[in-house]
Structure 1
Amino acid sequence: MQQSASSRPLVGVVLVVCSCLSLPFGAAVAAQLFPVLGPWGVTSLRVAIAAVLLLVIVRPRPVRWNRTQWIAAALFGLSLAGMNGFFYAAIDLIPLGPAVAIEFLGPLVLAAVLTRRLGDAAWVALALLGIVLLGIDGLVGSEPLDPLGLLFILIAAAFWAMYIRMSARVGTLIPGSGGLAVGLAVAAVLLIPVGVPAAVTVAGDMQLLLLAAITAVLSSVIPYSFELAALRRLPQRVFGVLLSLEPAFATLAGWLILGQNATPLRMLAIALVIVASVGTTLGVHSGRRRADADARRDGADPDGGPAPDVGPDSDETGPFTAPIPLPG
């Protein structure tokens, strides 16, 4: 049964929420491996395990790809390696909740650049206020942010914005999850220099290997698969703002698993980003409904007939209609 056009954005929202819920809990598990393997060693193992799992499950056929598809998958892999490596290096030095909040500057700036509506800009501004409050809490609270950790998380933020762009492009050019599987394989190859010592360490310890596998599933396989599917249903600007839910889940994961405290200011900031995410969700769903109403008024069937020419870089949701260039 074909999925109705009006339900597609709502499915995309659910996929993003599930991704936001899975990622920080995977990061909290990964943090427990840092004393033994180091953040870059954990990153390498996590990406390698995820790549092997997806290559076995998806069985992509990259030999049939053209040059454009290969370049997109390679750049996607580069963004995955940089985003994950610098993020883990950062949370080895600063708390998980503020780290995720500051890293969100990447998709937030991207959302602001792609926003064309005043209402969307207001939600972006509200999310930005929440991020600023989280940064203030990290600077003046009981756990000041380490300068090196701050630098690492800002680099990770830039790679996160690149990841969103390249994930959208891979989703456009390569059907299914083949692009994700190959992208993770590229990232694993790039991380080999820091991954060999970690692999030797876990080879004789099943408990460490199990924790690394759990991290790979929670932090790579589940969220990246969901986000790739979500970006086929949502505009990138909406996707970027919805990711502002992640600091809330990261703070929860840090509190439950790592025993990290959540101050009142931090909770207020998290509430602001949640409100921004809810507002964006309601806006995109009502926009889709208006598009369907216009299609019916014009005599088109929104579920099976001609549809408006829309896409993630347009003002509505829908399939990709044109390649999306890498920023910069």
Structure 2
Amino acid sequence: MHFARRRGGPMLAVMTTTERLEPATGTTTADTGTAGTGRAAGVALMLGGGLSNQFGAATGALAFPVVGPAGVVAVRQWVAAVVLLVAGRPRLRSFTARQWWPVLGLAAVFATMNLSLYTAIDRIGLGLAVTLEFLGPLAVALLTSRRAVDLGCALAAGAAVVVLTRPQPSTDYAGIGLALLAAVCWGCYVLLNRTVGRRVPGAQGSAAAAGVSGLLYLPIGIAVLWQHPPTPAALGCAVAAGVLSSVVPFVADLFALRRVPANSFGVFMSVNPVLAAVVGLVVLGQRPGPLEWVAIGVIVAANAVAVLAGSRAARR
């Protein structure tokens, strides 16, 4: 593959841009006299959350040789379930069948997305897997738009994907396929999340879905950890990865959304593939080539332009 990698590559957080909790109020510091300070703090929070996300992935990589991707995913899902259930406090007994069906669909997407993504990361590296997965929400945004600028973004992103996945002797097609499956899951998450948001109040829907997904991973996790007993160090790395990739970004983004406009948040989150590639390079020794760096930059730019164009159209 184009990215030099190590077996047992890192994991990525289940919580993505579309999973962040919205702030309790629509008021931001832009409405006050402290907009500059508030936005600077918001940018710092987003940067810290993004870096924590990717360093959590690198930490999870240390546990891969012992428990494999499935073992780390299971622990990661359990940590995410506990965090979201505590934060969202879903009233499960009051859910109706109309509310449960999209929540269960969301849980299935969680489970499939993380296992496919983590396995892809193990095969093709952090930067490439995250970049390809990022195509999911970008595709949803572009397919639901009729603006000419979005057609240009789609063509640019498509060309970048061709560069990233071009056939070479070392190309891992299974890894690419798994990353694209994760992208499809993320796109489905965006669509399902809209339905859940309309039918279930607050963050209760996402919390319930995370809880169900955690339950789904109980037999998988128990079986994997039974066959591959984790060392204390490996288990600690898996738990730490869950904290770094779930708890820290969750809190950071919650406070950041109170300090920066939603469109600015979306644009900034576009840099996550770049952060993933940088962390993969520095921590894991995964080295994208010059063309790969350009392709990642093009996909990031396409998403940023699409977000900005969408926010401007909404204000008209």
The 3 A distance-change label for structure 1 pair 101 and 22 is: same
Look up the match of 1:3.
26
Following the alignment from structure 1 to structure 2, what is the Cα–Cα distance between the partners of residues 179 and 111? 22
Look up the match of 1:165.
191
Following the alignment from structure 1 to structure 2, what is the Cα–Cα distance between the partners of residues 221 and 256? 23
The 3 A distance-change label for structure 1 pair 119 and 18 is: farther
What are the equivalent positions in structure 2 for 1:224-243 lying under 5 Å apart?
226=253
Q: Of the candidates 217, 222, 230, which is equivalent to residue 191 of structure 1?
A: 217
Could you tell me how far 1:285 is from its partner in structure 2? Answer: 4.0
The answer (yes or no) to whether the contact 1:242–1:280 under 8 Å persists in 2 is no
Mean Cα deviation higher: 14-23 or 151-160 = 14-23
Superposed CA offset, 1:223-279 (max 9, x none)? 57859x98xx869xx96x976533212211211221111211111112212322332
Look up the match of 2:136.
106
In structure 1, runs of 5+ residues without a counterpart are: 292-328
Following the alignment from structure 1 to structure 2, what is the Cα–Cα distance between the partners of residues 216 and 133? 32
Following the alignment from structure 2 to structure 1, what is the Cα–Cα distance between the partners of residues 270 and 138? 8
Could you tell me how far 1:115 is from its partner in structure 2? Answer: 1.4
Look up the match of 2:171.
145
What are the equivalent positions in structure 2 for 1:134-283 lying under 5 Å apart?
134-136=164-166, 139-140=167-168, 144-199=170-225, 205-221=231-247, 226=253, 244-283=270-309
The answer (yes or no) to whether the contact 1:130–1:270 under 8 Å persists in 2 is yes
Q: Of the candidates 73, 83, 88, which is equivalent to residue 53 of structure 1?
A: 83
Mean Cα deviation higher: 173-182 or 71-80 = 173-182
The answer (yes or no) to whether the contact 1:102–1:135 under 8 Å persists in 2 is no
The answer (yes or no) to whether the contact 1:45–1:199 under 8 Å persists in 2 is no
| Structure 1 SS opposite 2:285 | coil
Identity %: 34
Following the alignment from structure 1 to structure 2, what is the Cα–Cα distance between the partners of residues 57 and 5? 21
The 3 A distance-change label for structure 1 pair 270 and 2 is: same
Following the alignment from structure 2 to structure 1, what is the Cα–Cα distance between the partners of residues 307 and 185? 25
Letter in 2 for 1:56: V
Look up the match of 1:286.
312
TM-score between both structures, scaled by the size of structure 2: 0.74
RMSD over aligned Cα atoms? 3.5
Letter in 2 for 1:192: L
Corresponding residue pairs, total: 278
Could you tell me how far 1:42 is from its partner in structure 2? Answer: 0.9
In structure 2, runs of 5+ residues without a counterpart are: 1-23, 32-38
Which has the bigger relative contact order, CA under 8 A and spacing at least 6? 2
Q: Note if 1:83 corresponds to 2:113.
A: yes
Letter in 1 for 2:151: A
The answer (yes or no) to whether the contact 2:133–2:182 under 8 Å persists in 1 is yes
